[in-house]
Amino acid sequence: MKKSTITCDMEGRILTMNDGAEQVFGYPKEELIGKKRVSIFSPGEIVLQNVEGWLDEAVKKGEYIGKTYFIKKNKEKFNAKIRITPTFANGKDKAQTGYCGVTEVIEENVDVPINFSTKLIKGLAITRMPFTSASILPILAVGAYFAGVGDGLFNILNFVLCIFGVLIAHLSVNVLNDYFDFKDGTDEENNDYFQQVSGGSRAIELGLITLAGTKKLGIILTIVALLIGGVILFSTNPANVDAVLMITLIGLFLGYFYTAPPLRLVARRGLGELTIFLTFGPLITLGTAFAIFNGDLSMAQEHLMNCLYIGIPMGLLTTNILLINEFPDMKSDTKTNKNHLVVTFGKKASRWIYLLILGLTAYTTLMLADSVGSEKLLIPLAILVLYGGYVFSILFKKYESRELVAANWGTITLQALFSIAVCLTLLF
C-alpha cells in the first residue's frame, strides 16, 4: 500500500493529494481538492478532541507523529500512522500557509479513547448551546426590571419556566436551521472559517450527528418547548394568556421559517435580520413580561413600554452577531441564493450597516434610560460605545481577512456584556 500525502490550507481545505491518497482513502482527487476538508477522513469526536492539539504540536515542534484511525469513502475503518508538518508556500521565514499530512496504513489496532468532556462538547456543538445567551439574557433583564421596581410584581415559577422554555426553543431552532442549511447545500458550499463562529455547527459535516438525527432532535426539542409553553400558559394571569400565546406562536413561526422552505426568511434581503431582531429582542421581552406579570400587563402601560424598550437594544446587538457572521459566509451563501444583507450590499458597504445598528442600539438605550428614569443605564451605554467602537475598528480593517474572527467573537462578547450590564443596572 502506498503512503498517502495530502496538503491543506489553514482552514483544512484539501489542496493536493497524491495517487497513494486516492488508494488509501478511496476518494478520487476531483471529488476532494478545493471542495472538502481533511476532517472528512476522521470521526467527528476525534476531530473535536485531538486535531487541534496535533496541529499545535506540529507547529511548535515542526512535526506531529502519532497513530489514529480513519474512515474510507466506503465507510471502512483502517488504522494508520500519521505525520503532520506545517507548510510555508513562500519559505519558512514567511507566514504558515497550511499543513501536510502523511498517512501510512498499519496492521496494529489503534484505539482512540473519547473523553467525557469531548462527548459533552459534542452535545454543545450539535445544539450550539453557548449561543443561547442571546435569548436568555433578555428574559433575565425583564425579571431584573420587575425585581428592581418592587416586590410581588411577577410570578417566579413562570419566570423560571420562561428561561427553560426559551432555552429549549432556541436549541430546537438552532438544530432545525442546521438541518435545512445542510439540506439546501449551504453548509456544503461553505469552505471557510472551519469551526469558527459562522457557518452553523458543522455537526453534520463532522459526522457528530446524521441529517435524519438532526431532524429528529429538532422535533423532540420543539415538542419539549411546546410542553413547557403549555405549563406557562396554565399558570399565567388569565388576562395575559392571549398575548403570551400570540407572541409564542409568532416566535416559533419566525424561528422555524428563518431557514425552512418555502419562506426561508434568511434569504430574503433583510427579512432574516429583521426576524432575528424581533425574536431575540421585543418578542422575547414582551412575551416574558406578559407571562410573568401578576396583573393585567395591557393595563400597566408603563411596565409594558419599559419591557419593549429593554428588548430593542438587545435585539439590535444580536442582529449584529448575525450580520458579522454573514461576512465569512458571503461566498457560499451567494451560491445557494441565501440573499441576506451582506450578499445584497457587499462586505464593504455592510460595515456601515453594522455601525448603524450600533448607533440605533445607543439611541434606544438612551430611550430605555429615560423611560425607567435610571442614569445607571449609562454604564451599558459606555460599554457599547467603547467596546463596540473597538470591535467596529477590527471589522472596518479586517472585513476581507481571516482575522475578522476577532470581531465575530467581539460582537458576541459585546452583546453579552451589554445585556449583563443592563440586567444589573435594572436590578439595583
Q: State yes or no: pLDDT of 196 exceeds 60.
A: no
Collect all residues with Cβ–Cβ distance below 8 Å to 219 and sequence separation of at least 6: 172
Collect all residues with Cβ–Cβ distance below 8 Å to 252 and sequence separation of at least 6: 169, 222, 225
Count of domains for the chain: 2
The pTM score is 0.88
132 and 86, same structural domain? no
157 and 43, same structural domain? no
Lowest-pLDDT range of 126-130, 156-160, 279-283: 126-130
188 and 43, same structural domain? no
* pLDDT at residue number 181: 84
- 419 lies in some domain: yes
Strand ranges, E, within 46-201 = 64-71, 77-87, 98-105
pLDDT tens track for 129-152:
888 999 999 999 999 999 999 889
149 and 224, same structural domain? yes
Of the pLDDT bands very low, low, confident and very high (cuts 50, 70, 90), residue 77 is very high
List beta partners, residue 86: 99
* pLDDT at residue number 208: 87
342 and 312, same structural domain? yes
213 and 151, same structural domain? yes
208 and 77, same structural domain? no
Sign of torsion over alpha carbons 72, 335, 14, 27: positive
Lowest-pLDDT range of 60-74, 86-100, 246-260, 400-414: 86-100
CATH of residue 94's domain is 3.30.450.20
358 and 259, same structural domain? yes
Of the pLDDT bands very low, low, confident and very high (cuts 50, 70, 90), residue 158 is very high
Which cell numbers hold the place of 423? 440586567
354 and 311, same structural domain? yes
Average pLDDT over residues 369-390: 96
In terms of Cα–Cα distance, which of 118, 99, 131, 103 is closest to 26? Answer: 103
CATH of residue 277's domain is 1.10.600
344 and 250, same structural domain? yes
* pLDDT at residue number 161: 97
- 110 lies in some domain: no
Q: State yes or no: pLDDT of 195 exceeds 50.
A: no
* pLDDT at residue number 254: 94
Contact 64, 83 (CB under 8 A): yes
Q: State yes or no: pLDDT of 194 exceeds 70.
A: no
C-alpha span between 321 and 279 (Å, rounded): 14
Strand 14-17 and strand 77-87: pairing? Answer: unpaired
- 423 lies in some domain: yes
Identify which has the larger pLDDT, 282 or 39. 282
* pLDDT at residue number 121: 87
Of all residues in the chain, the percent with pLDDT exceeding 70 is 96
Torsion angle of the four alpha carbons 349, 354, 355, 360, in this order, in degrees rounded to the nearest 10: 130
Domain hosting 339: range is: 124-427
352 and 380, same structural domain? yes
Q: State yes or no: pLDDT of 102 exceeds 70.
A: yes
C-alpha span between 245 and 236 (Å, rounded): 10
Average pLDDT over residues 2-24: 93
Lowest-pLDDT range of 129-143, 152-166, 173-187, 317-331: 173-187
* Coil, strand or helix at 8: strand
In terms of Cα–Cα distance, which of 324, 330, 329 is closest to 358? Answer: 324
Would you mind telling me the total number of residues written for the chain in this entry?
428
87 and 154, same structural domain? no
List beta partners, residue 79: 69
pLDDT tens track for 50-70:
999 999 999 999 999 999 999
- 112 lies in some domain: no
In terms of Cα–Cα distance, which of 294, 183, 172 is closest to 237? Answer: 294
Average pLDDT over residues 80-93: 89
Mean pLDDT, the chain, rounded, equals 92
Average pLDDT over residues 339-358: 96
Q: State yes or no: pLDDT of 332 exceeds 90.
A: no
Strand 64-71 and strand 14-17: pairing? Answer: unpaired
Average pLDDT over residues 195-215: 78
